[in-house]
Amino acid sequence: MDVTIVLNAYRRIQTLDIQIAAIKAQTYPVKDIMLWQNYYGEENTVPEFVHGLTKHASCNHNFGVWAIFAYALNAK
């Protein structure tokens, strides 16, 4: 069974590297790490290249909590 993780970057950009490291340190391998980013101004900008992400989607509008569930439908 393949496991996909969907992370939310809203107000959590400073802990993104820690989250990815923790995911990779698990005993069960993770196939894909997807990142969803609702708009929250310039201080929440994800760097162009974040090591370990399979997919990254950002939106210039905050659609609230439900947008990450819709984004998760893109997982295999």
Q: What is the pLDDT of residue 65?
A: 79
Query: Do the beta carbons of residue 76 and residue 46 sit within 8 Å?
Result: no
* pLDDT per residue as tens digits for the range 6-65: 988 877 777 888 888 899 899 998 989 898 887 665 555 665 556 677 787 877 777 777
Q: What is the pTM of this model?
A: 0.77
Q: Is 73 exposed, middle or buried (0-12, 13-18, 19+ CB in 10 A)?
A: exposed
pLDDT at 71 over 80: yes
Q: What is the pLDDT of residue 15?
A: 81
Q: What is the pLDDT of residue 25?
A: 92
